[in-house]
Amino acid sequence: MKFLNSKPIFLVVSAPSGGGKTTVCNELLAANPDLQRAITCTTRAPRTGEVNGKDYYFLSQEEFRAKRDADEFIEWANVYGNFYGTLKSEIITRLEAGCDVIVSVDVQGVESISRKAKEDPVLGASLVSFFIALPSLESLHKRLQKRATDSEEVIRRRLDTARAEMETCVGFDYILLSGSIKEDYQLAQSILWAEKMKRSRVKPAELENFIASFR
């Protein structure tokens, strides 16, 4: 797919737990060579095969807290005793290099990113968010059961959380009603393409040269 030279996009994807946001992000990354994943920081230990600086930035608790206290994260969370966070520099460096960037975060992370974007012109101009909404809690329940990684008690907690998270969809640029993996990817790809084709994102010099070529 060819586009006029446009300003880069910071694509933020969210969904309830089990909603498929990681799968959608991986599909988009595989299909779009110019789209890059922002590498997340974590304090958990590396798993077999994971590489520092590729899969995650592995930090000590002290290192993470120092960056958090210095307001270096665009979003962060404590997940079962381990910290996870996305550095603002990780996003801005890639955007300033002309690359599109994608992150997958929970709804609290999106709220933090939105606040930070209002304070930073680079982030604010590039931010695009979409929420993968499930047709019903029953459909999410079936997905979580099919995944077979959680007990029924954990699934019930996830469903209670999802009920509250669904109410936050009003704060996103796009709401993607989930279907199959293929359908979700196709809709997400359409969002990316639509944003790339926005006239407001086309660099002025590029648009002027394009128009001049027809004179």
Per-residue pLDDT tens for 18-76? 778 999 999 999 999 999 999 999 999 998 999 999 999 999 999 999 999 999 999 99
Q: Is the dihedral of CA 57, 62, 65, 71 positive or negative?
A: negative
Output the pTM of the full model. Answer: 0.86
pLDDT digits (tens, 9 = 90+) for 114-157: 999 999 999 999 999 999 988 767 767 776 777 666 677 777 77
159 contacts: CB under 8 Å, gap ≥ 6: 137, 140, 141, 144
Q: Quick one: pLDDT at residue 149?
A: 67
136 vs 213, higher pLDDT: 213
Do 36 and 78 contact (CB within 8 A), yes or no? Answer: no
Q: Give 6's pLDDT tier (boundaries 50, 70, 90).
A: confident
Q: Which domains does the chain have, with CATH numbers?
A: 10-38+100-212 (3.40.50.300)
C-alpha to C-alpha distances, 1 to 106, 108, 109, 194, 196, nearest whole angstrom: 30, 33, 31, 12, 10
Q: What is the token pair recorded at 115?
A: 């606040």
Place of tokens 């009603």: 177
